[in-house]
Homo-oligomer: A and B are copies of this chain.
């Protein structure tokens, strides 16, 4: 399997929203991107603020851009803030250093896409993403 399908992307978002509802999260925005960083599906729950589409997309595309989760990018940013800050302006969708952006891999460990979530704490955003990926029968990058 080498490509993420729209049906899978929609399943990821539905399950991530379900997880968010179960945990009592604030309204979430979730973006699912293909391996090239291009949007497949996005949904923003009611009463979310206006930058959420960009933050969700940037968490996911930043992860693809650097090959690690946005949680690891946050750790990189703590150690090398100016390096990470320099990447935003040269990345088409920006790079947001906060948990909630996770790469999806195939059985060989190759990236086939990424998911980004925003709206609650970064910790909860990431939990919802991981629940969504698992519910769709897919694998997050370790």
Residues of chain A having any CB pair with chain B under 8 Å: 2-3, 5-6, 9-10, 34-55, 58, 64-67, 74, 77-78, 80-98, 110-111
A91/B54 in contact, CB under 8 A: yes
The residues of B that contact A88 with a CB separation of less than 8 Å are: 85-86, 88-90
A98/B83 in contact, CB under 8 A: yes
Sample (27) of A-B pairs whose CB atoms are under 8 Å apart:
A6-B45, A6-B46, A34-B36, A36-B50, A39-B42, A41-B42, A41-B43, A48-B67, A49-B67, A49-B111, A51-B65, A51-B90, A54-B90, A55-B90, A74-B83, A77-B83, A80-B98, A85-B85, A85-B88, A86-B88, A86-B96, A86-B97, A88-B88, A88-B90, A89-B94, A90-B93, A92-B92
The residues of B that contact A44 with a CB separation of less than 8 Å are: 6, 38-41
A36/B36 in contact, CB under 8 A: yes
The residues of B that contact A81 with a CB separation of less than 8 Å are: 81-82, 85
User: Quick one: which of A5, A39, A78, A81 has the most chain B CB within 10 A?
Assistant: A39
The residues of B that contact A110 with a CB separation of less than 8 Å are: 3, 47
The residues of B that contact A77 with a CB separation of less than 8 Å are: 82-83
Bound-state Cα–Cα, A38 to B50, Å: 6
Bound-state Cα–Cα, A46 to B1, Å: 14
On whether A43 and B92 interact (CB within 8 A), knowing A51-B87, A86-B58, the answer reads no
